[in-house]
Chain A
Amino acid sequence: MKQYWISFRSLTYAQRASRVLERKGVTATIVRLPQGISKKGCGYAVILRSAVREAIRVLEEQHIPWSQLFARSESGEFREVEP
């Protein structure tokens, strides 16, 4: 199943994003970002399975800075995408 990963510069931002999204009914699981796509090393992301545009809109409304948005294919490949 296709997933969307929103990355953050810190674990705390990922946690805040997860809280805010879950309150809006969007399941957002916190994970560590694979080193291969983590520009500066050791990053965190939240995984979404749907409602990506809505999620980005909520994060921006709440002034929660996010770094990148990735689409992860069923085979596990990451591709940076626009919201």
Chain B
Amino acid sequence: MIYLDHAATSLLKPVAVERAVSRALRTMASPGRGSHEPAMLAAETVYRCREAAAALFHMEEPERVVFTMNATHGLNIAIISLASEGSRVLISGFEHNAVTRPLHALGVKLQVAGRKLFDPEDTLRSFAAAIPSSDLVVCTAVSNVFGYRLPIQEIAELCRREGVPLVVDASQAAGVLDLDFPALGAAFMAMPGHKGLLGPQGTGLLLCGRETKPLLFGGSGSESREQTMPETLPDRLEAGTHNVCGIAGLMAGIEYVRARGTEEILRHESALLRQSIRLLRGADCQLFTGAPSTQTGVLSLRSPRFDCETLAARLGDRGICVRSGLHCAPLAHESAGTLESGTLRLSFSPLLDAGSVSKACVALRQLLGADS
């Protein structure tokens, strides 16, 4: 099997991740729910993961790292903390439904900026014009469909200058780009644990720079006589028993990322991207590519002859796993003009080798046929 769907879930994990999950399953109980050894071992593991995440994102306060189920969970918390019905919310043209659906449910006034693919200057101009009249900006750092790197540092700087809070969706950027949360000055940054951070599914992180509103209410292992959620982080946002096994695996994934470095991971994934583009150039398809500095290890394409779902199924028959369709991001497809067709998406990982990418691209090229 050749797995090229790391933008959905990074299936290839460091061996340490599997070991950590297994060890947690056998030895750890509920953190903050007792003083016995399995509870304290769980608490120590959870805290070490907070420390590792804080270090990766250049934060000094591990308590501002909140564990979530996934990026969607974190984005929902961030959005309900900062927006309400009628709020003027500015988003990019490449947002995922994890951003647009909660905003739609709240009944905010939505404005979309920056719809040109792989054009950071246009994105920035568009944001600069719209930020002053916004109450909140929610923006992805990297498009999950196209790998487009939005100019998030510059957008953050504009938000700081105008005093408008910013929520960053780092779902495709965490573990790939060097994200300095304090330097960005963002109100929140949400990400999954199971993509670039190489942890298990069911894990996510929300980095908090602002006051928060809980999405879930329940036991926190602290201040138990009170019937309101604690004011302090992370307890305020972590009701119920933690996913300790997942967090143990996530810690191992983050440690791998820290040891290898985001710069090297980006270099590796970019090399696989360039290799794919070279191998697919001349095939009968439209490749969505930008300048190297504007694209991470995600490649979308579409064929004039085959529906993207058909192509994905045929690749699946050959043991090649890719993603097809709208990727839960209809807005991004609308921006790129691919809403009707969807795209086929190849996405790479730090643990993927060039030989596998080559085999997959050769098979895909045969299916697509040559460009006439």
Contacts and interface: CB of A to CB of B under 8 A. Distances in A.
Interface of A: 9-13, 15-16, 19, 30-32, 40-44, 63, 65
B40 A40 contact: no
Interface string B102-137: 000000000000000000000000000000000000
Interface stretch (B222-230, B271-279, B281-289, B338-346): B222-230
B27 interface: no
A43 B230 CA distance: 12
A31 B226 CA distance: 21
A44 B222 contact: yes
Q: Is the interface of B mostly helix, strand, loop or mixed?
A: loop
Given A16-B62, A16-B63, A9 B222 contact: yes
Contacts of B43: 11, 15, 30
Given A16-B63, A30-B40, A11 B223 contact: no
A23 to B, nearest CB: 12
A10 B235 contact: yes
What secondary structure prevails in chain A residues at the interface with B? Answer: mixed
Given A10-B235, A40-B225, A15 B47 contact: yes
B221 A41 contact: no
Contacts of A41: 223-226
B290 interface: no
Contacts of B31: 11
A11 B226 contact: no
Contacts of B235: 9-12
Contacts of B372: none
Contacts of A63: 61
A42 B35 CA distance: 11
A9 B232 contact: yes
A42 B33 CA distance: 9
Contacts of B50: 12
Contacts of A10: 32, 63, 220, 222, 230, 232, 234-235
Contact of A40 (B32, B35, B61, B226): B226
A9 B220 CA distance: 11
Nearest to A31: B35
A32 B221 CA distance: 10
A31 B220 CA distance: 16
Given A30-B40, A40-B226, A13 B232 contact: yes
Given A11-B32, A12-B47, A43 B62 contact: no
A41 B232 CA distance: 15
Nearest to A11: B32
Interface in B216-248: 220-226, 230-235
Most buried by A among B31, B32, B230: B32
Contacts of B61: 16, 63
A12 B234 contact: yes
In the A-B complex, the 8 residue pairs with the closest CB atoms: A41-B225, A41-B224, A40-B223, A42-B224, A15-B47, A11-B32, A12-B63, A32-B35
B214 to A, nearest CB: 14
A81 to B, nearest CB: 23
